[in-house]
Amino acid sequence: MSELLRRQPSRRAFLGGLSIVSSRALGRAATPPSDRVTVGIIASGGRAVFETRQYPSFDNAVITALCDAQESRRLSAKAALEKQYADQGRPNRGIRMYRDFRELLAQKDIDAVYIASPDHWHVSMLIPALKAGKHVHCEKPLGVSIEQDLAALKAVRKYGKVFQYGAELRAFPEAKKGIELVLNGRIGKVRKIYAVSPPSATGGSATPVIPVPPGFDYDMWLGPAPLKPFCADRCLQGSNGRNAIYYVADYSLGNIANWAAHPLDQVQRWADAVGREDPPVLYEGSGEFPTSGLFDTACQWNVRCTWADGLVMDFMDSNTYHDLPDAPHPAHVWGRDASGADITRMPNGSVFVGTEGWVVINYGKVLTRPASLMDSVIGPNEIQAASSALEGIPEGLPKGFQQTLTAGHHQNWIRAIRTGSPVVDGIESAFRSDMVSQLAELAIRTGRPVRWDPKERTIAGNEAARRMIRRPMRKPWQVG
């Protein structure tokens, strides 16, 4: 194992492998203002600002508007992004602010939108954006019900706008190499796959109920979700710093969908390349849900997902994976956990086990057995995986591993809008990977196997799960 770990390039090595180039070399100052893609941000919380702070480093797009149900977030995001433009020496036209995303969509001078809302809003914002003629970059996961996923798939196909799914690991060169090793037979025939995600958090409290702060449009924040009392752990950053939008079933499926979108997307990247046009069709397993507290999404799961040809993917939380005796268990050799201890266990990953070795792709590192696989050269006549990685880092780009990935992924989308080139993570792939989360969650929630009929696009043999294909929505909101 020591040799395996020693030979793998680190995140620092990845960043060091990209040269810092002038903005002009990457095309800055080469795009006439009239040809720049104008972008609006829908939901301007921390994630939205984190991902879009890189826009001022490129001249092929400009942020012109943002919206959020919270006035404080609107003001904070506007200030942060306009400062970023000023620091780059590229003051923009000023970023307009809106409380209601529908007002932003009505603006004729906005070409495209980045949706960074809570999960329960994704599809109910995505479809109106497409109808309004906007290109869409949507955060993962896709929806919070099978009905929503199907509606998103239909809408993107219908309106023909450029859609990018926000799984930025497709911009990580090591992950690309890992997928190519599997595709080109370096581990032999694939005989087993694991998709591993961190578990959802437990805890949180619905009390005390507190007044809605000034400038916080709680009705718009809830949107399609049920009306519930306002409290800190639900609506604000709670006392423990955890955000309920990731762990309350009214707004999310939890990490079985939200965080798991990363490893499932890498599995889907492989599946697309080998011609698997449908997600697995059978889901069997078990899971646990919290029995107390506000957070109520699955905190443990272990679901066997079987494709129509019999290939199996075991999808589970990382705590469950760590207890498996016969699965690859490479140490995660960078970073520290909350207690300050070195991380020595793999916290997440897409694991491909073949007849002659294995490849593990986790967020920030690729590990293989044998270790020499990473030295293997993928030839020009072999299968190449599409990538959204940057060719170079422009001057002034905010530093950081994730910043570099998200910059590449957004730039891939912007180029597709401007030139018609393909995106690396379109709606078909997003739909297929998200369906694994949806169907696995229904299997553990109902306690019975779930069989997916890809032709009829419905669940067979589990009536309780079939009834949950559709999620009730608070009026007047609808899926689209």
Q: What is the mean pLDDT of residues 369-378?
A: 94
- Say which residue, 3 or 463, is predicted with more confidence: 463
What is the pLDDT at residue 346?
79
- Establish if 282 belongs to a structural domain: no
Range name among 16-30, 373-387, 457-471 with the lowest pLDDT average: 16-30
pLDDT tens per residue, range 420-444: 999 999 999 999 999 999 999 999 9
In a domain, 195, yes or no: no
Residue of higher predicted confidence among 337 and 297? 297
Average pLDDT of the chain, as a whole number: 91
Residue 159 belongs to domain spanning = 18-169
User: Would you place residue 343 in the very low, low, confident or very high pLDDT band (cuts 50, 70, 90)?
Assistant: low
- Predicted pLDDT of residue 96: 97
pTM for this entry = 0.92
Q: How many beta carbons lie within 10 A of that of residue 291, not counting itself?
A: 8
CA–CA distance, 74 with 231 (Å, rounded to integer): 21
41 in any annotated domain:
yes
**pLDDT beyond 90 at 203:** yes
Does any domain span residue 436?
no
- For range 155-172, the mean pLDDT: 98
Return the exposure string of 193-204: e unless at least 16 CB atoms fall within 10 Å of the residue's CB, then b.
bbbbbbbbbbeb
Q: Note the pLDDT of residue 1.
A: 30
Q: Mean pLDDT over residues 269-273, rounded?
A: 98
Residue 79, domain CATH: 3.40.50.720
pLDDT score of 338: 53
Q: How many domains does the chain have?
A: 1
Q: What is the pLDDT confidence band of residue 271, given thresholds at 50, 70 and 90? A: very high
86 alpha carbon, distance to own chain's centre? 29
For residue 74, tell me if it sits in a domain. Answer: yes
SS (H, E, C) the chain: CHHHHHHCCCHHHHHHCCCEECCCCCCCCCCCHHHCEEEEEECCCHHHHHHHCCHHHCCCEEEEEEECCEHHHHHHHHHHHHHHHHHCCCCCCCCEEECCHHHHHCCCCCCEEEECCCHHHHHHHHHHHHHCCCEEEEECCCCCCHHHHHHHHHHHHHHCCCEEEECHHHHCHHHHHHHHHHHCCCCCCEEEEEEEECCCCCCCCCCCECCCCCCECHHHHHCCCCCCCCEHHHHCCCCCCCCHHHCCCCCCCCCCCCCCHHHHHHHHHHHHHCCCCCCCCEEEEEEECCCCCCCCCCCEEEEEEECCCCCEEEEEEHHHHHCCCCCCCCCCCCCECCCCCECCCCCCEEEEEECCEEEEEECCEEEEECHHHHHCCCCCCCCCCCCCCCCCEECCCCCCHHHHHHHHHHHHHHHHHHHCCCCCCCHHHHHHHHHHHHHHHHHHHHCCCEEEECCCCEEECCHHHHHCCCCCCCCCCCCC
Residue-wise pLDDT for 42-95, tens only, equals 999 989 999 999 999 999 999 999 999 999 999 999 999 999 999 988 767 789
Residue 43 lies in a domain: yes
- Quick one: pLDDT at residue 3? 29
Position 237 in a domain? no
Confirm whether 3 is domain-assigned: no
Name the residue type at position 283: Y
CB atoms inside a 10 Å sphere around CB 459: 24
Work out the pLDDT band at 151, boundaries 50, 70, 90: very high
- Residue 97: pLDDT over 50: yes
